[in-house]
Structure 1
Amino acid sequence: MTAWSAPARTVLATVATAAAAQVAVAAVCVPLKTDMVYDLSGALTFGLCTFVSLYYPQLAITGLKGFLAAPLKTLLSLSSPAVFHPRQLLLSGMTLIWASRLGSYLFVRAINAGGDPRFDKIKQDRVRFSAAFFGQILWVSITALPVWAVNAVPARLQPALGWKDALGVGIWAAGFAYEVIADRQKAAFTKARKEKKTDDEFLCTGLWAKSRFPNYFGETLLWTGAYVTSLGLLTAPGLPVYAPWFAVAAAAAPVFEALLITKRHHDKKHGKNPAYIEYKRNVPTFFPKVF
């Protein structure tokens, strides 16, 4: 129990950070009825939580009062990233790369579109709009739970990198590439429609001919890779940091991601289009077809 208590405090502090960050953003966005920074705030929260999951034990020594009194001095006194285990640096880097790429992409898209149509009705209702930010707290906390769990364990207790880490990084890289390609194809299609270079109402070429949500598949795949990487620690024999059931529970991260993002929003927009009905009939929803 003692071995678990210190990492548990760090994980809880990381989740509390996600909650505090999203409450702060909601306090501004909900009254103003603006969703412009919703996705960007989610990406920044992932970054902030990555920092806290690594440095909370050091920050806890100073305390919140001490940090607020001299934030710059406190930050400058923190250890170099070199003190962390390569597994921690890998998972943290994977999280930051993904969050930076997706956050900036969605933010630019929101600016170009004048907002996010998902929130056109929701943001008029304070309760429903506030719930969207609560959902983002769950997204950050659960999706990256394997990352927070690994970062919470001191480097001296981390086992050496092994085949699980290599496999996980490979899966993450494949998922990241898949998501980036799918997003770029979608962005190019949206631009072509805006410039009236195509009359197609929906995208059904490239990766979008393999599945109807290739970007979501790529995102779920990369978080699966992060989970597999975390197993290098979570399933290490003779390491009583986490209970054996925790490695199974952490699998909820990629499952939650898949359930969260596979929404049938296209059905409302194109549901009666015969071409879209045929597209749905021939193209899988999530997992891409091989041929």
Structure 2
Amino acid sequence: MDSPPAIRVLLRTISADFSIQVAGWSIAALLQTEKVQTDLPTEPIIFYDLIGSASFIVCTYLSLNKPWAKDEEGLERPLHPRQVLASGTTVIWACYLGSFLFIRALQYGDKRFDKVKKMPAKLLIYWIVQGVWVAVTALPVYLTNSIPADMHPPIGARDVIGYIFWATGFTFQVLANYQKQQWRKEVGKDYKRSFISHGLWSLSRHPNYFGECVLWLGSYLFSSSAFPDAVTGQVLPHWMSRLAVFSPIFVTFLIIRVSGIPLLERENDRRLKDVVAYWKYKKETSMFVPTWPRSVE
């Protein structure tokens, strides 16, 4: 008996994801760097983040491409608008984040790999973690793409709410990153004794991360609108529809507890330990969810 289409799609997608990460690790381990040297008069190209973003795009395409789902004439069946929007938003975000991280690494460098780039086993962990990130974060998108278009319900209120969440989160992320980039340019060499506290950064100490969590919550909402019908039609196993909810939970946990906010908070506390204004800002400003600053005596 053939396995449900969703399982076939997901296995192929996840296999491609980790194959890409292993290939990237192989190059990085061989060169003992996360960069590609070029003949251009600029810094080497940082390819870790570029491969991460490209993985999202490749996996999204593979989840859409179902050779077995053809019509009577052997042509690919049309996509549902939900699949187009779910895939489109994922690709837009991946292109933005990849280019943003690439430009930032060229301008300010990237110290994440300094201690492990000559240690292949430990370096592999970074690439495997990236593979897990790609697989879990966009899981709802991969699953909704695996469902035949004729089994998708019409766009409804849940989809609209999800799109509003996604647009709000993406706007927060882009605007917060832009404001911080402009601030870095303005302060220049004073960066180590300064911190950004205006714009969205007056409402949250990490508005860019808040935006990323909100947009993936939105992506889950509109992607999962098709899950109940797919489960009933035995296209999507029930356990997989439940597993998809871990996407926004995983992203939020990763950012708040593991690799995002904790690392930056420790770095800022160390770098600005003697700056009184920073500690006042930290006490008055929400760490994550944007709120109006509160006065602290």
Q: Same fold (TM over 0.5)?
A: yes
Alignment correspondent of 1:104: 99
Judge which range, 122-131 or 99-108, deviates more: 122-131
**Residue in 2 that maps onto 1:282:** 284
Q: Residue type of the partner of 1:100? A: C
- The question of 1:34 aligning with 2:23 is answered no
Distance in 2 (alpha carbons) for counterparts of 1:265 and 1:199: 16
CA contact (8 A) 1:58 1:78 kept: no
The alignment's TM-score, normalised by the length of structure 2, stands at: 0.83
Give RMSD over aligned pairs: 2.4
Work out the CA distance in 2 between the residues paired with 1:173 and 1:104. Answer: 19
Q: Alpha-carbon deviation of 1:270?
A: 2.8
Matched-pair contact (CA < 8 Å) for 1:7–1:149: yes
Residue 100 of structure 1 deviates from its aligned partner by: 0.5
2:4 equivalent in structure 1: 5
Once the two structures are TM-superposed, the CA of residue 30 in structure 1 deviates from its matched residue by: 2.5
1:227 corresponds to:
220
> 1: CA distance between counterparts of 2:227 and 2:192?
51
The offset of 1:59, in angstroms, is: 8.1
For 1:47, the equivalent position in structure 2 comes to 57
CA drift at 1:16: 0.7
> Is residue 2:52 matched to residue 1:58?
no
Superposition deviation, residue 238 in structure 1: 4.4
Aligned: 1:204 with 2:203: no
Partner secondary structure for residue 83 of structure 1: coil
Q: Is the 8 A contact 2:166 2:216 kept in 1?
A: yes
Structure 1 contact 164–231 (Cα < 8 Å) conserved: no
Per-residue CA shift, 1:64-102, capped at 9, x if unaligned?
A: xxxxxxxxxxxxx984xx811111001000000000111
Q: 1:86 aligns with which of 81, 84, 89?
A: 81
| Aligned counterpart in structure 2 of residue 256 of structure 1, from 241, 250, 255 | 250
Amino acid at match of 1:58: P
Residue 263 of structure 2 is matched in structure 1 by 265
State how far apart, in whole Å, the 2-side matches of 1:184 and 1:84 are.
34
Letter in 2 for 1:152: S
Could you tell me which residue of structure 2 aligns to residue 69 of structure 1?
Answer: none
In structure 2, relative to structure 1, the CA distance for the partners of 1:227 and 1:280 (3 Å cut) is same
Q: Percent identity among equivalent residues?
A: 37
The question of whether the paired residues in 1 share the 8 Å contact of 2:21 and 2:131 is answered with yes
Relative to the length of structure 1, the TM-score reads 0.85
Residue 8 of structure 2 is aligned to residue 15 of structure 1: no
Q: Secondary structure at the match of 1:284?
A: coil
Structure 1 or 2: more helix by fraction: 1
